[in-house]
Structure 1
């Protein structure tokens, strides 16, 4: 019942648009601050997360700290780039309502990475709101550019499949 409401109802589309734009603004401003601030380096954040994996009540689980230490920290420059541009691009996509589901899923991936690293802040709230957008599917971007982009892509891929299908 709730699934049908989220996926098909026009009132839900309007509510999801407000949530989508709110989340997009949060992502865009976070990423833009990192891009233009000039001082963002993920290495410090990663080292702090690794440090939070020890002690009596660790905020970061050992398996995630191992990933951060073995993969993320040696490649901190790549992760810095991915975080800054990921936040900006997810923000823009959510605000414009283009490739909404993909943007929402990428936002979830980033939020979970931040949560796994011991940062709570607004990430849990963003995860909750983003789940509604991801579950809603096309309806979340219906009042946005997805209204025109998704049907165009479907039409193009349907035509391409029809022309490349083998003769029976």
Structure 2
């Protein structure tokens, strides 16, 4: 019942638009600061690896192993992906363009930060992003998704033959 409300209600679409723009602004400003400030993730990654030791580690061993063997050697790539990923997620959420994909990429980054031992606003962002993901198309109804998604569905939707006639499923 609540999921149906999130997915179909026009008032909820407006509330989701406000949440979406708020999250987009948070991502955009954070990413822009990294892009213009010469962000380097090496220190963050090393700090997260350091939090995997002790009696009550903040970072799980499996995640620290991933950071040490994959992220740290590729810290230049990860720095680029985080900085520009945050900017792109922010722009997409503000515009309501490919909202669900942007929200998915944002929540993945949030979980990566949480797994690395950083709390900050990530928990709040995960919760708000969860509502956007559950709402599906309705989260981007008051955005560019209102025009882009129907166009893509009509252009690339699943086609099948019904009584000899080609029908595009939307």
TM-score higher than 0.5 here?
yes
1:90-123 superposed Cα distances (whole Å, 9 cap, x missing partner): 0000000000000000001000000000000000
Residue 13 of structure 2: aligned partner: 13
- State the alpha-carbon separation in 1 of the partners of residues 36 and 86 from structure 2: 13
Residue 131 of structure 1: aligned partner: 130
RMSD of equivalent CA atoms: 1.4
Residue segments in structure 2 that go unaligned for 5+ positions in a row: 162-170
- State the alpha-carbon separation in 1 of the partners of residues 25 and 37 from structure 2: 17
TM-score of the superposition, structure 2-length normalised?
0.93
- State the alpha-carbon separation in 1 of the partners of residues 61 and 29 from structure 2: 31
Using the TM superposition, give the Cα deviation of residue 37 of structure 1 relative to its aligned residue in structure 2, in angstroms. Answer: 1.3
- State the alpha-carbon separation in 1 of the partners of residues 71 and 36 from structure 2: 23
Moved over 2 A (4+): 160-163
Using the TM superposition, give the Cα deviation of residue 162 of structure 1 relative to its aligned residue in structure 2, in angstroms. Answer: 5.4
Residue 77 of structure 1: aligned partner: 76
1:56-82 superposed Cα distances (whole Å, 9 cap, x missing partner): 111000000000000000000000000
Residue segments in structure 1 that go unaligned for 5+ positions in a row: 164-168
TM-score of the superposition, structure 1-length normalised?
0.94
1:38-73 superposed Cα distances (whole Å, 9 cap, x missing partner): 2x1001100000000001111000000000000000
Residue 3 of structure 1: aligned partner: 3
Residue 63 of structure 2: aligned partner: 64
Structure with the higher fraction of residues in strand conformation = 2
Query: Any idea what SS the aligned residue of 2:119 has?
Result: coil
- State the alpha-carbon separation in 2 of the partners of residues 88 and 162 from structure 1: 39
Residue 104 of structure 2: aligned partner: 105
- State the alpha-carbon separation in 1 of the partners of residues 106 and 79 from structure 2: 16
